[in-house]
Chains A and B, each alone.
Chain A
Amino acid sequence: MILDKLTARLESVQEYEKEPVPASRHKSWRSFLGMYAGEHTAGTEFVIGPLFVAHGASAGDLIFGLLIGNLLAVLSWAFLCAPIAVKERITLYYKLEKICGKHLTVVYNLVNALMFCFLAGSMIAVSATAVGIPFNIPMAELTDWLPSSLSWVLIVLVVGTVTTLIATLGYEQVSRFANIASPWMILVFLAAAIAVLPELGVNSIGDFWPVAESKIWTGVPLEGQSKFTFWHVMFFAWFCNMAMHIGMADLSIFRYAKSWKSGFTSAGGMYVGHYFAWLASGILYAVFLQNSQNSLEFAPGPIAYYAAGITGAACVIVAGWTTANPTIYRAGLAVQAILPNSKTWKVTLIVGLVTTTAACFPALVMRLLDFVALYGLLLMPMGAIIFIDFYFLPKLGLSSELAEKTGQKINWAAAGTWILTLAACLFINFSFGVEIFFLGLPGWFVAVALYIGLSFLFQPSKQLNPKLS
């Protein structure tokens, strides 16, 4: 009986994968504010903030780098992604199918789903560091890549299973959970950081800046870590969600928005999560380093537990969930675009299994900054293709959504753009030593130029192919 009810509930989950979202399902900006604030005040924030400390970012570079980088990210959501989302009101995957053709979209979706799985996996791993506290399991170090113990794997499996079950219930459930948890999480981040400040020697507001420069963000990287400058911080803040804004993955989210201006609600996520939460978690990590004489052990759960007790540990778990949930959901959408006849919840369940397996490897957490940058870079060219296809191709006398109009399975202009852009980024990286954090910017302009050029090359002229007009 209960199983029948649950199945009926799951069957009724309707996410409009192949049709525009109807007006009755449009959501106000408040839904997105809660979702972005929740999603970006998350498990990864407990990792990224400390990694800035480990990479020796100085206090000034961090404060101003994050300020500008986050502003650029918000503008990217508001002016690049959201306007297209509310005009089209379809998922990223359906839009890509129209432009790139079914076969290329399948390849994109596979890459995308895999990246989402790894990202969600890192969040599950972060949650597991908190769940593991009562069991006193050995935690991984900054240099670890492989699982350190069987108990670690078991805890990751439990956390991953619960997260996946929640994600199978769809966007509504995820949004509701995130909305309730997000204001509390934000306050826990702040409270934990404020409570440990006296341990660093901050006893008045005036003490903060000198301590920040000398004990928290000292400008000196930990052993084995590269040095981060202002530019690293700024570009990381801008591009860490590159796949979502410039890469257009959030077309799938903003298609529910009443207005494109909802894109500005991403500021809730950026300035609360990617600013205050990163600063707060950096402070917590500085206290850990001070108490442990610069130990290389890296486990957000115990760090938060030390600062805020059971609430801190719970916050790490919930923070991991609220980000892993929509990420698994997005990965499910990506796979469902490949298997359109399958049920959303069944696909999400499979994606959750892959995610949980990936979460067992600490490398996902320890190299999170590099992974996040790579993930954005890999998917960015498709965002540039959508942008040019939507705004410029018709003005240049070329046809937009070519694959849908011609019935092509692969739009070779798009395929060439994707491959050659990544090859160009690789070339810039190897030849000029430009780090992965900076490649997104030249890469976007390369993608734009390539897509326009290759469209002229590959599109049949309208005179020759009347089907296009």
Chain B
Amino acid sequence: MKRTILGILALSGLLLTLLPSTLVFAGVISAPVNKILMAVGMLLWFTMAPFWIKRAK
């Protein structure tokens, strides 16, 4: 259960890294908002992924 939650959070980090840029391309959000969302994604990935990968092993 804990592993699943860690996985969801880590993958959300990757999603927040890529998805907002496509929204900038589509004109839905601005570049500054994209940068904030990417930073949140980075934090999520690097704080969750090591524990998620460790548990997966």
Contact = CB atoms under 8 A, between A and B. Distances in A.
Nearest to B43: A311
Contact of B25 (A179, A187, A195, A311): A195
Contacts of B24: 194-195, 198
Q: Give the interface residue-count category, chain B.
A: 20 to 34
A39 to B, nearest CB: 18
A287 to B, nearest CB: 11
A190 B38 contact: no
Pick from A179, A180, A191, A309 the residue with the most CB of B within 10 Å. A191
Contacts of A192: 21
Contact of A184 (B14, B22, B25, B32): B14
Nearest to A191: B21
A184 B41 CA distance: 9
B34 A187 contact: no
B6 interface: no
A202 B46 CA distance: 32
A339 interface: no
A190 B19 CA distance: 10
B31 to A, nearest CB: 6
Given A184-B46, A194-B24, A195-B34, A309 B39 contact: yes
A191 B39 contact: no
A412 B21 CA distance: 58
Given A192-B21, A194-B25, A308-B35, A187 B14 contact: yes
Contacts of A198: 24-25, 27
A183 B14 contact: yes
Interface in B7-32: 13-14, 17-18, 20-22, 24-25, 27, 31-32
Given A180-B53, A184-B17, A198-B24, A191 B38 contact: yes
Given A179-B53, A309-B39, A311-B39, A184 B21 contact: no
A314 B35 CA distance: 12
Nearest to A198: B25
Contact of A309 (B14, B25, B38, B45): B38
A190 B35 CA distance: 14
A310 B35 contact: yes
Interface string A353-378: 00000000000000000000000000
Contact of A191 (B13, B17, B27, B32): B17
B23 to A, nearest CB: 9
Contacts of B22: 194
A158 B39 CA distance: 23
Interface in A169-223: 179-180, 183-184, 187-188, 190-192, 194-195, 197-198, 202-203
A310 B49 CA distance: 19
B5 interface: no
Nearest to B52: A180
Contacts of B42: 184, 188, 310-311, 314
Contact of B45 (A184, A202, A312): A184
A195 B21 contact: yes
B43 to A, nearest CB: 9
Contacts of A309: 32, 34-36, 38-39
A144 B22 CA distance: 36
Given A179-B53, A309-B38, A195 B17 contact: no
B21 A180 contact: no
Interface in B40-57: 41-42, 45-46, 49-50, 53
B49 A180 contact: yes
B56 to A, nearest CB: 11
A187 B17 contact: yes
B38 A308 contact: yes
A310 B14 CA distance: 15
Given A194-B24, A311-B17, A188 B50 contact: no
Given A184-B45, A190-B18, A311 B53 contact: no
23 contacts: A179-B53, A180-B49, A184-B13, A184-B14, A188-B17, A188-B38, A191-B34, A191-B38, A192-B21, A194-B25, A195-B24, A195-B25, A195-B34, A197-B25, A198-B24, A198-B25, A202-B25, A308-B35, A309-B35, A309-B38, A311-B35, A311-B38, A311-B39
Given A194-B25, A308-B35, 4 more contacts: A180-B46, A202-B25, A203-B25, A310-B39
Question: Top 8 nearest A-B pairs by Cβ distance?
Answer: A309-B35, A191-B21, A311-B38, A195-B21, A194-B21, A187-B17, A195-B24, A187-B18
